Amino acid sequence: MTFPQSAYLLAFLGGALGTAASLPLWRAWCVRTGLVDDPGHRKIHDTPVPLAGGLAVLTGLLVPLVLGAVALQLGVLPVGAVEKITYGFEKRGLQLAAILVGALGMVWLGWLDDKHELRAGPKFAGQLGIALLVALAGVRIKLFPHSPLSPVLSCGVTVLWILTVVSAVNIMDNMNGLCAGLGVIGAAAFGGIAAGQGQYLVASLALLAAGALAGFLPFNFPKASAFLGDSGSHLTGFLLAVLAILPHLYTSVNPRPLAVLAPLLVLAVPLGDMGCVMWIRWRAGRPIWEGDTNHFSHRLARSGMSKPKAVAAILALHALAAMVAMWLGVGHR
């Protein structure tokens, strides 16, 4: 197997192994420190479950990145691969650094919420600060390139996008395997789009994220010995939001207007779910941020499906939308 396929495979497997190997350690640490999700209102479990998923997934991201950087410095990688990876770092080094800092920030913010149940205001302020940092580093949705207001508009839309996707993914973490499954499929789709465009670094990062989340799934589905927690759902939403921005979906060399719809299709399920529950809450005269059991997963379960089958049905729909998105992003001309 030659580059870049070998890099993609190593990224996915490295992420999966990093998460799977570290999760038992993080799970024991969570039990020891009391970082667990206790049974209660609208909960589907009847015993405390460690909130170790976010920390394990972050480990699955960071360990392969550190090992890859060491391999790059030692010169053990093939020459062609070194040239392409180095070129990617030179072009996107600041952006990648901001993404890593943002990922750490989202996990820390989610950990604080898991531990202390943050109020909405401080939590939103933290999310806003992280989204703004990433946008200022150059990870932006490009709008109106010829307008003098383009940098401001792009920055504002990017921040709104990140906040929206993080919220949408966070509130879908309501059944075993659902949030992580959405993350695996979504990240893999963005990786496929980037790979089809020859963006090796972006594709490797996306497949690393997909692998790290996939390594968590056996511990969370169908029965859970660990939950993602807010740290994990924040991280998953953040990664999907950023990975949606990084691929070049429309360029002057390869103009494909429909390709810009690909991110919306990949994330259609969580965005659609959030839109529906907010509409239901608004019509009922309740605060739109107030939790309830009107999500797609809950409604499927009430219709008679078992919870694992409800999750599988939603992930199947998500995968179908992702395949259409990949066709628009890569195969459509």
| Percent of the chain predicted with pLDDT > 70 | 90
The residue among 39 and 126 whose pLDDT is bigger is 126
Residue 145: what pLDDT?
A: 63
Q: In the predicted model, what is the mean pLDDT of residues 69-97?
A: 77
What does pLDDT average to over the chain?
90
| Domain spans in the chain, listed from the N-terminal domain onward | 5-256
Residue 210: closest CA among 231, 187, 193, 233: 187
Question: Of 40-44, 67-71, 95-99, 169-173, which range is least confident?
Answer: 40-44
Distance CA 162, CA 237 (A): 8
- 159 φ/ψ sector (left φ>0, alpha ψ -120 to 50, else beta): alpha
Number of Cβ within 10 Å of residue 71's Cβ equals: 15
* pLDDT grade for 45, boundaries at 50, 70 and 90: low
Question: pTM value?
Answer: 0.94
Contact 39, 227 (CB under 8 A): no
Q: In the predicted model, what is the mean pLDDT of residues 127-154?
A: 86
* pLDDT grade for 328, boundaries at 50, 70 and 90: confident
pLDDT at residue 257 tops 90: no
Residue 300: closest CA among 264, 271, 268, 273: 273
pLDDT at residue 252 tops 60: no
pLDDT at residue 2 tops 90: no
In order, the DSSP letters of 113-166 are HHHH---HHHHHHHHHHHHHHHHHTT------TTSTTHHHHHHHHHHHHHHHHH
Listed in sequence order, the DSSP H helices in the chain are 5-33, 53-74, 79-116, 120-136, 150-171, 178-196, 200-214, 229-245, 262-266, 268-283, 296-302, 307-326
pLDDT at residue 93 tops 60: yes
13-31 pLDDT tens trace: 999 999 999 999 999 999 9
282-319 pLDDT tens trace: 998 998 888 889 999 999 999 999 999 999 999 999 99
Residue 4: closest CA among 83, 97, 95: 83
Token match 């209102």: residue? Answer: 41
* pLDDT grade for 162, boundaries at 50, 70 and 90: very high
Distance CA 47, CA 169 (A): 24
In Å, what is the CA distance from 116 to each residue of 187, 229, 232?
30, 12, 16
Q: Which residues pair with 39 in a beta bridge?
A: none
Q: In the predicted model, what is the mean pLDDT of residues 219-231?
A: 95
Residue 251: what pLDDT?
A: 58
Q: In the predicted model, what is the mean pLDDT of residues 179-196?
A: 96
Residue 254: what pLDDT?
A: 58
Residue 55: closest CA among 96, 10, 24, 97: 24
In Å, what is the CA distance from 292 to each residue of 43, 169, 299?
11, 15, 11
pLDDT at residue 255 tops 80: no
Task: Provide φ and ψ at 36, rounded to 5°.
Answer: -135, 160
Q: Which residues pair with 50 in a beta bridge?
A: 36
Q: In the predicted model, what is the mean pLDDT of residues 144-154?
A: 75
pLDDT at residue 147 tops 80: no
* pLDDT grade for 54, boundaries at 50, 70 and 90: very high
Instruction: Return the half-sphere exposure (C-beta side, CA atoms, 13 A cut-off) of residue 142.
Output: 10
* pLDDT grade for 64, boundaries at 50, 70 and 90: very high
Residue 92: what pLDDT?
A: 83
- Give the dihedral of Cα atoms 10, 15, 18, 19; nearest 10 deg: -150
Q: Which residues pair with 36 in a beta bridge?
A: 50
pLDDT at residue 59 tops 90: yes
